[in-house]
Structure 1
């Protein structure tokens, strides 16, 4: 049987799914299998009926929801009108990328696998459930899953007689060729075509929002720098409600841009156009101006400050000519070398830029044409909006914890987006951030008589600040907030605002300052202390209950505390309390938004 063209479709809000999909694409090329790799939002799902062989790589967001670039595909695939045998010609495999610290671990992958079977498609192998929490990361599942996938595929579709796979160490051609051009003015590059003025800002056409203020809300002596940042969205037609999310793509630091250009001997002020190489089906990235400055590419597009994935080392190994460096790169990209890769790169959070500096001979010989194969695109970051348009017209605010920590590497590790945002100082001149807004996972009740209980320790309080501002502006009462932090004097965000609202009778506040006494006190302890109040609100007044914050231990501890409230107030058993919580979640009266 002749081999069909393999279609690899990926859906994710991070770069991991794209990186994995492209890795499968390169493996297909080495096996001389025709391959197409597409994001799910660039593929016409109606064509799925005519496909023969498809791999789906997908992640899960929120409470078991598909990622944004998968939603249109998801809606189409779950139409009740689709015939049960509509995909009977399709052989497929599903690889899920997830995090087992979340309750709905790889939910989208599992549900997609089941739905494809309902429509008559045949699974080549069980669904792969990669887990970020594994010591070796998702590759611990991806590697053996891909070995099994290719065994099945090659047995079904053997290569024609006389055809042999390419060697793993032979370089594949790059996806694009750079054509450098001269006599281009900066104006042509930096001014993209304006979007439709009636369309809301989007990933393709963000709104350049001016930074109005960038205020530190933790004490200067506190180890954690947290910022309340306000943007001006006048003229943007951006609309949002409490629970919505602000999106942006950060820029690389000037220092990293300069070092990258120095290592690769690139002139940051030169301009280029991109063209796909012969046989490449990769579309030219629409987000890059045409022509584009090297500085723009490195500053705003290539994720040079990220911890590189294994595919980065795989590609570098094929391009290296120095024997010592090539041997080390081959070892780090091999299945047997994953412990070493974890120790060298993942654990200390070594960046791709630092890896290039560690392999100087390979870096010096690196062709510019491989840049977009080596480095993923900078992915959008999301922040819960912490303000209400009703309270702050034409403004949008976010609460940002600046990520900075030490590893065994000499230089402190920094979060790309939070560090970039913290560096924006409107007092030094006008600065703007290209941003857009999307619907969030938290939905607040419209009924003015429904009380709302919100548990938001740390920056988890951000969406609840928006909700409280909005509900007060709408005249809604029954606003109860549980806030937790380390110290009342160091990181009690928005303290004055909360105290004024409590004084005015607009909200009830319970605080937990974990380090202000010998025994640590957390929000779950305060919930147990307020069992009588909470049972009255939930059991008698149909209150809505919300959790936002770090996904590690807090959400589970809060859920356990809430179940104790049910047992104590309602006189129910532990299993009945769990059923009550499940019922609230199903009815939308229990919602959470957590992150790892």
Structure 2
């Protein structure tokens, strides 16, 4: 009986040279065939192959190649099962004597695609072969196996690593051509690329985290945005690249990755364009969007199509449930595979920090109870001392399992690298200081635009759950912009003065808030490639930096909490903070920090013994990003005058939040009065715009397009601009609008709680319907129980399912769907509703075909989404 051993032998070889693996794979292929085929030519090829590749490999041979060649069958001999079993025993013995000096911890199993299958196959083979050592070595070997072959897809689908059927179909020369060639220079220099595409800064932050970690343990990564391809690097020449990328808007790549995506998706690229490249890909997204993980999935598919190989399975991080829940396990898996690649004992500087902590988080933590005041007697914060539950886990108390864990896996403290000192110089004039040092950010189109507030009003009853406001501004007439309905502007919004004052007072530096501050690199830092963030002025003041440059409202990151733990004098507080940043505490960090939207002030109030340094906050607080709002008006004769709509969300003093507050931008906007001067930035246009349809469509221009507009709440804002532009284009004449009734359909589905209390622009919309600018207006009311009412826009869409499908599928016109509003399940819910409609009313066999139909609409630009958190 012939014995087929490629899976087992790929396991037991572990870190042995890839040449040996290729030989044994060929050997098992030979044994699996009939003995009547002459194997002499194959044996000669194998000898030549080993001579050619042996010097290229960064591993030592632990078995004589001749020993294996002796077992190869010739024309008159057959390799027996017993011979192969004996060889496998030699492999195990040889590996054990050469590699088992390492700690047992280095052989811990990893949850890696394919590992379970390999374990099962090992367990089903001969008992002598299914050695316990083989099971331990499975996960450690998988990466080497992948790089020894080019059969990545077989591996990814959990099939046999190499599936040779006969020596006539696959010879040893093909093994040579398929073999994934190592890059000894990369291994020796420990160099590789980390590239990211980031719109809001989250992907960039994670890429920086990986970059710093790898630098800290002696590797030599390079960090670039993806759009630096063909400038700072050429991906086709990169042996290893780690990519972190998000999806933005309607499934679009971030601005600093858009050019890369266009270039890598060119149809002229050959299928082996990335044959030299291995990649690891982490995708960020929000599952509330129908395009969740759209860009990462597309990128992975294209990389593989061009011949690249995956080091680890693609990571899918979901902002809706907490990015850390997926990011941390993926990073751990990445580090373990880098350990194998670079032959390092460990890539993990994590440590158990509990030797520093004798208490536990079950001890009482006294939350700060003082309303600190500044010199003029005004409170810094209106702190409503939040009452934490008396039992059960919360921000200041861990679960019993976590609190009693004496072996927490805690990340190392971030290496300091900045040196901020006050200097005896005239303080810079804040009004003359370029905003955030003139640093640009993804999505920023052009420069800052001065503007003046010319109108502000409440659009709803004041006591509704989320009051809606309108603000109107005039752009400086020196700035001319040809924006379109669907576009948006960023509002430059500062941090609230009371919160800034509280933080500076906690640092003991409030009295120096307006003195000149010089920020430079610490000449003694151990952080490799350290740099000052581009958005931090080197000569500034504390007040300017904390008011305009640093985001003090965003939930603190794990590195920041790790630093706070190091600066906590109370042992119970230190212990709890270490729990939150530990590997075991990811779920509690997600629940009580990131999803609870606690701010830096909340954490400092909850852990009063924490005294961070100025340098630490400058290093670890993220950039304060401006907030975008969609244009809600369009007047071709007065393009400088723009209207915006926003809603107020109140964050109560609960769930770890120590004081009540409103959204940062919306609270600031409500305090603007007529005549106030502000600054805005034009956002790079997305695909969510009212523009002329493709030339091959049945519509001539945007006024001929059938529109299905869905905008619950403030999502109606861009559609006000859509309709104003259409009205202007049709010359605002009753006759032209009457004519339109016969040839075009425009339907608006909007929503509120009660139309008479918080409906937006309802009277104007009904007027437009009467003028035939709208052919259908449907208002959902979620808090009205009338029989003829529908609570959500999805309900009305379903009730009109047949007409919706006929409109989408009509051969007599061109139809576009625009969906806009709160991302909290709305966009995804509407998408699912359309899939339901298409499945029910279209001639499709199953739901997958309906999804494909809708996906094609989206790809063709006929289904657009714009949602916000």
Give the aligned partner of residue 376 of structure 2.
Answer: none
For the residue of structure 1 that corresponds to 2:447, the secondary structure is coil
The match for 1:114 is 301
Give 3-state SS (helix, strand or coil) of 2:263's partner. helix
| Contact in 1 for aligned 2:568/2:610 (Cα 8 Å) | yes
| 1:514 aligned residue | 782
Alignment equivalent of 1:225, drawn from 434, 459, 467: 467
Residue 498 (structure 1) aligns with:
765
After superposition, give the CA deviation of every residue in 1:342-365 in whole Å (9 maximum; x if it has no partner): 4542353221222123333332xx
Deviation per CA, 1:183-206: give whole Å up to 9, x if none. 32433773439999xxxx946832
Q: Flag the structure with higher strand content.
A: 1
1:76 equivalent to 2:266? Answer no
2:427–2:516 Cα contact (<8 Å) kept: no
What TM-score, normalized to structure 1?
Answer: 0.87
**Is residue 560–residue 620 contact of structure 2 (8 Å, CA) maintained in 1?**
yes
Range moving further from structure 2, 181-190 or 52-61: 181-190
**1:432 and 2:678 equivalent?**
yes
Q: Does 1:359 align with 2:607?
A: yes
Q: Map of 1:417-566 to 2, 5 A cutoff?
A: 417-426=665-674, 430-446=676-692, 447=701, 448-475=703-730, 477=740, 478=744, 479-508=746-775, 509-518=777-786, 520-530=790-800, 534=804, 537-538=807-808, 539=810, 540-555=812-827, 557-559=829-831, 562=834
- Aligned 1:54-73 pairs, distance under 5 A: 54-73=241-260
Equivalent residue runs for 1:294-309 within 5 Å: 294-309=542-557
Question: CA deviation digits over 1:310-349, x for unaligned, max 9?
Answer: 2322233345565443322221110212344345423532
1:589 matched to 2:869: no
Distance in 1, matches of 2:237 and 2:853, equals 46
Q: Could you say if the C-alpha distance between residues 395 and 170 of structure 1 is closer, same or farther in structure 2, counting changes exceeding 3 Å?
A: same
1:156 CA displacement: 1.4
* Range 311-320 or range 368-377, more displaced: 311-320
Q: CA deviation at 1:50?
A: 4.4
Q: In the alignment, what sits opposite 1:216?
A: 458
Give, in angstroms, the shift of residue 157 of structure 1: 0.8
- 5 Å-filtered alignment, 1:342-381, equals 342-363=590-611, 366-381=612-627
User: Aligned residue for 1:96?
Assistant: 283
Aligned-partner Cα distance in 1 for 2:584–2:590: 12
What is the alpha-carbon distance in structure 1 between the residues aligned to residue 830 and residue 495 of structure 2? 37
By how many angstroms is 1:490 displaced? 1.0
Contact 1:189 1:289 in 2 (8 A): no
Shift in CA distance, 223/86, structure 1 to aligned 2, threshold 3 Å = same
Greater Cα radius of gyration, structure 1 or 2: 2
**1:393 is the counterpart of 2:639:** yes
Match 1:26 to one of 212, 217, 226: 212
| 269 and 467 in structure 1: CA distance in 2 versus 1, 3 angstrom threshold | same
1:242 alignment partner, one of 460, 482, 485: 485
Label 1:108 to 1:553 Cα distance change in 2 as closer, same or farther (>3 A): closer
Distance 1:381 1:225 in 2: 18
RMSD between aligned alpha carbons? 3.4
Per the TM alignment, residue 300 of structure 1 is displaced from its structure 2 partner at its CA by 1.1
Label 1:442 to 1:117 Cα distance change in 2 as closer, same or farther (>3 A). Answer: same
1:270 correspondence with 2:543: no
Per-residue deviation, 1:550 = 3.0
Structure 1 residues 504 and 343: alpha-carbon distance in aligned structure 2, compared to 1, 3 A threshold: closer
**How many Å separate the matches in 2 of 1:41 and 1:251?**
30
**1:132-151 superposed matches below 5 A:** 132-134=319-321, 137-151=322-336
Report how far residue 68 of structure 1 moved.
1.6
- Call closer, same or farther: CA 1:567–1:144 in 2, change over 3 Å: closer
Structure 1 unaligned segments of length 5 or more: list them.
Answer: none
Show the counterpart of 2:424: 182
Contact 2:485 2:721 in 1 (8 A): yes
Contact 2:519-2:537 within 8 A present in 1 as well: no
Inter-partner Cα distance in structure 1 for 2:851 and 2:651: 38
Shift of 1:458: 0.8
How many residue pairs align between the two structures?
A: 585
Contact 2:753 2:781 in 1 (8 A): yes
Summarize the Cα distance change of 1:224–1:560 in structure 2 as closer, same or farther, 3 Å threshold. same
- Give TM-score, length-normalised by structure 2: 0.62
Indicate the structure whose relative CO is greater, using CA pairs within 8 Å and at least 6 residues apart: 1
Gaps of 5+ in 2: 1-186, 352-409, 693-700, 731-736
